[in-house]
């Protein structure tokens, strides 16, 4: 059994969730010269589920290479990526406040999907083993006025979040219905994460 894992994510929410679940982890963050944003580019015509799983796989490859390059102690590496989808349209992290407002206006009064892919890689004496899973949840927002959206965007909470909102923050106030994994909407689905970590030999409750 592994005593700890590496979390290759800059998301404080993922770190918080793992701590709640009693998983010991150390951060394995990118070097300054690594272009992580390039990994998140959407391919033409790419479906949301294919996109989020492909990006998570790329992040895992980059993280495992980072682990080897730094000569760190061998342990499972966990990566995840979350995207919001309105039909086949992928809503990533807004580039600025205006884009955040547009995203939220599109989501207001409608039902959308939140997809989070998780992957674990574990170096072994015979090479590398990997496990992956996908969580799909549905979220329905109440109608929102332009003033509500602007106040929310001005709070800064939507920036850096897929779909321009945080379900655990003020966006909860207009979330009418959720179907699926609440922690998955936050960025790390509990059930799927437990599955891939257990498969990699990580001790869980």
Residues 6+ apart with CB under 8 A from 66: 8, 28, 30, 31, 34
**Residue corresponding to tokens 């990533």:** 92
% of the chain surpassing 70 pLDDT: 99
The reported pLDDT for the residue numbered 1 is: 64
Q: Choose the catalytic residue: 33, 81, 96, 98.
A: 81
The secondary structure element, H or E, covering residue 99 is helix 97-107
Rounded CA-CA distance 171/144 in Å is 11
pTM for the model: 0.93
Q: Is the model's pLDDT at 125 over the cut of 80? A: no
**pLDDT, averaged across the chain:** 94
81 is catalytic: yes
The reported pLDDT for the residue numbered 38 is: 86
CATH hierarchy code of domain 5-199: 3.90.950.10
Query: pLDDT digits over 147-204, tens only?
Result: 999 999 999 999 999 999 999 999 999 999 999 999 999 999 999 999 999 999 998 8
The reported pLDDT for the residue numbered 94 is: 96
Rounded CA-CA distance 45/54 in Å is 14
């Amino acid at each position: 059994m592994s005593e700890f894992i590496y979390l290759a994510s800059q998301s404080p929410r993922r770190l918080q969730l793992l701590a709640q679940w009693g998983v010991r982890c150390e951060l394995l963050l990118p070097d300054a010269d690594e272009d992580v944003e390039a990994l998140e580019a959407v391919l033409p015509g790419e479906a949301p589920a294919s996109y989020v799983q492909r990006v998570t796989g790329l992040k895992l490859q980059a993280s495992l290479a980072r682990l080897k390059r730094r000569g760190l102690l061998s342990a499972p590496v966990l990566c995840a990526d979350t995207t919001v989808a309105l039909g086949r349209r992928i809503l990533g992290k807004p580039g600025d406040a205006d884009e955040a407002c547009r995203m939220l206006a599109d989501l207001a009064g409608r039902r959308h999907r939140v997809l989070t892919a998780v992957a674990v890689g574990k170096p072994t004496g015979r090479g590398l083993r990997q496990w992956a899973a996908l969580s799909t949840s549905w979220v329905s927002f109440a109608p929102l006025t332009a003033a509500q959206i602007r106040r929310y965007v001005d709070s800064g909470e939507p920036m850096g979040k897929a779909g321009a909102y945080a379900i655990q923050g003020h966006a909860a106030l207009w979330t009418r219905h959720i179907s699926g994994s609440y922690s998955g909407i936050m960025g790390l689905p509990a059930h799927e994460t437990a599955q891939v970590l257990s498969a990699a030999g990580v001790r869980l409750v």
